[in-house]
Amino acid sequence: MSGDSTLRVGFVYPELLGTYGDRGNAVVLVQRARWRGHPAELVEVPADAPIPTGLDVYLLGGGEDDPMHLAGAGLRASRGAIGRAVDAGAVVLAVCGGFQLVGHRYVAADGTVLEGIGLLDLETRAGPTRLIGEVVVDPEPPLPRLTGFENHWGRTTLGAGVAPLGRVVTGGGNGAGRVEGARAGRVLGTYLHGPVLVRNPALADRLLADALDVRALEPLDTELEDRLRIERLHAGTARGPRRWWRDRLLARG
């Protein structure tokens, strides 16, 4: 955590990597810290500004192709600052496009290469079909089953020393090996939108505990969050006519 007592949660490039409501991840972390009596602030880092080293959490969201290239250039320019922050104990959550950018590279269908910043040892290539829909993932205990929504072309291959976030129960995930996401130390990447920390309070608290550098957090009343999580888990594991109707609606766009 940074030198003062305020938890600084940074949402990086909101105008480029905020397409799918992933700013909600920052809001969740700040609010769950405040509910427990920890001062916290949301710091938005605009695309025309250098990324500071003094944040406790760095959040990257999803974006379309052109914004992704702009975001990639900015991230590469600030690679040193981000690396120093991670070495000092900062937490990184990178979602979808942000997940691809914290790897080594993304190779588009036409062969165009978008270089990443190499925080995680992984590479992504565009697949032949778009992976879209509800996803259910079983992570390593003690985290409970996770729920999210994916919408991407990527097929992500993990390198040595990088573990998946979890095993895919339903959905596409990384598109290879029936796994989803990646984690190494305090850096976590995932394709799960939703936003993922709104849907999965236990994952939010896992990241929050790391950012605050504490073993455990005081429990909160999570009745509303749990109701959302259970409803989305049911949607993600739908079978038969329910699954057919859901997939038909998604195919219509």
Cα→Cα distances 126→105, 119, 176, 198, Å? 11, 20, 12, 28
Q: What is the DSSP string of 159-200?
A: -TT-B-SEEEEES-TTSSTTEE-EEETTEEEE--BTTHHHH-
pLDDT band at 30 (very low <50, low <70, confident <90, very high): very high
Q: What is the DSSP letter of 16?
A: T
96, 104, 152, 234: the catalytic one is 96
Candidate from 115-119, 185-189, 222-226 with smallest mean pLDDT? 222-226
Percent residues over pLDDT 70 in the chain:
93
pLDDT band at 241 (very low <50, low <70, confident <90, very high): very low
152 a catalytic residue: no
Q: Which whole number is the average pLDDT over 30-38?
A: 97
Q: Looking at the whole model, is its pTM more than 0.75?
A: yes
Higher-confidence residue of 253 and 127: namely 127
234 a catalytic residue: no
What's the confidence (pLDDT) of residue 100? 98
Q: What are phi and psi of 41, to 5 degrees?
A: -140, 150
Residue 181: pLDDT over 70: yes
Q: What is the pLDDT of residues 81-101, one digit of tens each?
A: 999 999 999 999 999 999 999
Higher-confidence residue of 228 and 92: namely 92
Q: Computed from CA positions of residues 139, 172, 73, 12, in that sequence, does the dihedral angle turn out positive or negative? A: negative
Domain residue extents for the chain: 7-252
Q: Which whole number is the average pLDDT over 23-41?
A: 98
Rounded-to-integer distance, Cα 137 and Cα 147, Å: 6
Nearest to 94 by CA among 197, 175, 1, 15: 197
What's the confidence (pLDDT) of residue 109? 94
Cα angle 166, 53, 31; round to 5:
60
| Residues whose CB is less than 8 angstroms from the CB of residue 51 and which lie 6 or more positions away in sequence, other chains included | 10, 12, 45, 58, 74, 75, 78, 81, 82
Average per-residue pLDDT for the chain: 93
For domain 7-252, the CATH class is alpha beta
Q: What is the pLDDT of residues 37-82, one digit of tens each?
A: 999 999 999 999 999 999 999 999 999 999 999 999 999 999 999 9
Q: Computed from CA positions of residues 232, 233, 234, 237, in that sequence, does the dihedral angle turn out positive or negative? A: positive
pLDDT band at 8 (very low <50, low <70, confident <90, very high): very high
Cα→Cα distances 74→49, 163, 233, Å? 8, 27, 36
H or E stretch at 205? helix 201-212
pLDDT band at 4 (very low <50, low <70, confident <90, very high): low
What's the confidence (pLDDT) of residue 245? 46
69, 104, 152, 193: the catalytic one is 193
Rounded-to-integer distance, Cα 204 and Cα 32, Å: 8
Four-point Cα dihedral 218, 149, 100, 205, nearest 10: 0
Alpha helices in 18-165 (DSSP H): 23-35, 65-77, 79-87, 97-101
User: Half-sphere exposure of residue 49, counting CA atoms within 13 Å on the CB side?
Assistant: 13
